[in-house]
Amino acid sequence: MPVQIARPHSIGGPPDTVRRTILLTGASGVVGRALLRRLRGFDVVCLVHRSPVCGPNATTVLGDVAEPMLGLAEQAYAELAARVDAVIHCAAITDFNRTVGSLEATNIAGTEQVALFAAAAGAVLYQVSTAFVHTTVDGDRGRMAIGYAASKSAAERVVQSSGVPYVIFRPS
């Protein structure tokens, strides 16, 4: 059931008095960094594995999407879930040269953990997938991308069956 995130101040309606909070995974990646710059009207909590992320509206939480409860302590997980209105999931292994098995922990199991978090938070899940989900084995690039594409396609199925409201994006 795809939905849209409301802007903090809707045009034509009264402004919201509460600033919305977004959990952003993969904030240190190419897509995550670009999104963070665009999310100025929101409070953004960046779940990062290693590298802290800076921004005027951003805070960093160290965690791991592939771990239960995103690698957070139970209380930290509950407190974060109570704050978050939406989840933008960008964290992924995007290396086309990896084999299918090495992509599963982050791209599939990580998406499962993020979907569980979105359910706990009562939040909309925005899944950043890839246009490569339709990759065939034609040509060298297609053969290299097939494992990555399969992992992202499986992640989409995780989101679709999660029961949380979601939107899937497929950038190229």
> Which residues constitute the domain of residue 76?
21-169
Q: Is residue 62 part of a domain?
A: yes
Task: Note the pLDDT of residue 161.
Answer: 93
Q: Is residue 6 part of a domain?
A: no
Q: Is residue 9 part of a domain?
A: no
For residue range 114-161, what is the model confidence (pLDDT) as tens digits?
999 999 999 999 999 877 666 554 555 455 567 777 788 888 898 999
CATH number at residue 58: 3.40.50.720
Look at residue 1 and tell me whether its pLDDT is greater than 70: no
89 against 103, higher pLDDT: 89
Number of domains in the chain: 1
Task: Note the pLDDT of residue 16.
Answer: 54
Average pLDDT, the chain: 81
Cβ neighbours of 15 (radius 10 Å):
8
pLDDT classification of 96: cutoffs 50, 70, 90: low
Cα–Cα distance between 19 and 38 in angstroms, integer? 15
